[in-house]
Copies of this chain bind each other. A is one copy, B any other.
Amino acid sequence: MDAAAILKSHGQATENYLRQILARYASAPKRLIEAVEYSLMAGGKRLRPALVLECARAAGDGKSIPAAALAGAGAMELIHTFSLVHDDLPAMDNDDLRRGRPTNHKVFGDAMAILAGDAMVTMAFEALAVDGGQQAGRMVRELAAASGPEGMIGGQVLDMEGENKGLSLEELQQVHRLKTGALLRCSCRLGAVAVGASESSLAAISDYGRHIGLAFQIVDDLLDVTSTPERMGKATGKDQKKGKNTYPALLGLEGSREQAQQQLSAAVQALTSLGPAAEGLRILAEFVVHRAF
């Protein structure tokens, strides 16, 4: 079992489910669903849904993955994609390239991109409510909290307010804990909640998710410096241009890599109590960190 195989398998399951969801909106305006589909089915690593599904496996029976977890995976990808579509808007980051293709508003216009993003949020919560089974209410609560003012959207605001303003390492960590960390941690929790995990398993999974979230952001910052638009499918070097606060700017490349490695160790450590069922999560953690090395 390697990371590529895990991501491929969970990615395919998630995409099949997302196609089912899209098909449910048969009487919606065609152009709106096209705009949603354009960004939602544009590929990407599908890391968040893979975390949902792999955490469901690790906190469940170690083998099967229930339908409620798939709802969590789909909802998470919808929320993540919504955040990218709105983040790319001219009024926000004004990006032209995403996942190797023109951004949503470049193809569909600003108004449709706003509405397509809005639609993805409602679709995410509808997916949980319809397919989340007994855990639906709890999953809605987790996802809403992780996406909202004290989660991802709050992080976007802090990030925006921090531009061209020197942040301390602590402040930077707070931005990331919310902006990307909250949804990554929530991905892990949704998987565990979907299988009705015990409180101790949920705590372990949560801890893992928190460290993965921090590692992910450090690596993302590193890649913005060291990678190319061709490899990344989006603009690089833009953090510096915008005066954004990054780990490499604060800690240097080597210091940032060390930090990422420390978060990786802590993430793996958190999984101890889950035993061999968590093997896939260890592999995913290494993937998250080592793509930057």
- Determine the distance from Cα of A145 to Cα of B150 in the docked complex, in whole angstroms: 25
- Of A42-50, A106-114, A236-244, A271-279, the stretch lying at the interface with chain B is A106-114
- Determine if A149 and B111 form an interchain contact, defined as CB atoms under 8 angstroms apart: no
Residues 124-148 of A contacting B (Cβ, < 8 Å)? 125-126, 128-130, 132, 136-138, 140-141, 143-145, 147-148
**Could you say which of B25, B110, B130, B160 contacts A149, with CB atoms under 8 Å apart?**
B25
* A149-B89 contact, Cβ under 8 Å, with A129-B144, A140-B129: no
- Determine the distance from Cα of A200 to Cα of B43 in the docked complex, in whole angstroms: 46
- Determine if B126 and A141 form an interchain contact, defined as CB atoms under 8 angstroms apart: yes
Q: Is the interface of A mostly helix, strand, loop or mixed?
A: helix
Query: Shortest Cβ distance from A283 into chain B, in angstroms?
Result: 31
Which of A29, A36, A147, A154 neighbours the largest number of chain B CB atoms within 10 Å of its CB?
A29
Query: Shortest Cβ distance from A292 into chain B, in angstroms?
Result: 28
What residues of B have a CB within 8 angstroms of the CB of A32 in the complex? 149, 153-154, 157
- Determine if B123 and A29 form an interchain contact, defined as CB atoms under 8 angstroms apart: no
- Check if A31 is an interface residue, CB within 8 A of chain B: yes
Over the window 14-39 of chain A, the binary record of Cβ atoms lying under 8 Å from chain B Cβ atoms (1 yes, 0 no) is: 00000000000101110111001000
CB-based nearest B residue for A25: B149
Q: How many copies of the chain does the oligomer comprise?
A: 2
- Check if A121 is an interface residue, CB within 8 A of chain B: yes
- Determine if B153 and A115 form an interchain contact, defined as CB atoms under 8 angstroms apart: yes
- Determine if A156 and B115 form an interchain contact, defined as CB atoms under 8 angstroms apart: yes
Number of interface residues of A (CB under 8 A): 52
Over the window 69-99 of chain A, the binary record of Cβ atoms lying under 8 Å from chain B Cβ atoms (1 yes, 0 no) is: 0000000000000100010011110000000
- Determine if A158 and B29 form an interchain contact, defined as CB atoms under 8 angstroms apart: yes
Query: Shortest Cβ distance from A142 into chain B, in angstroms?
Result: 9
Query: Shortest Cβ distance from A176 into chain B, in angstroms?
Result: 14
CB-defined A-B contacts under 8 Å, sample of 20: A25-B148, A25-B149, A28-B149, A28-B150, A29-B149, A29-B157, A29-B158, A32-B149, A32-B154, A86-B115, A117-B118, A119-B153, A122-B147, A122-B148, A123-B148, A125-B125, A125-B140, A128-B140, A129-B137, A136-B137
4 tightest A-B CB contacts, nearest first: A28-B149, A126-B144, A122-B148, A91-B110
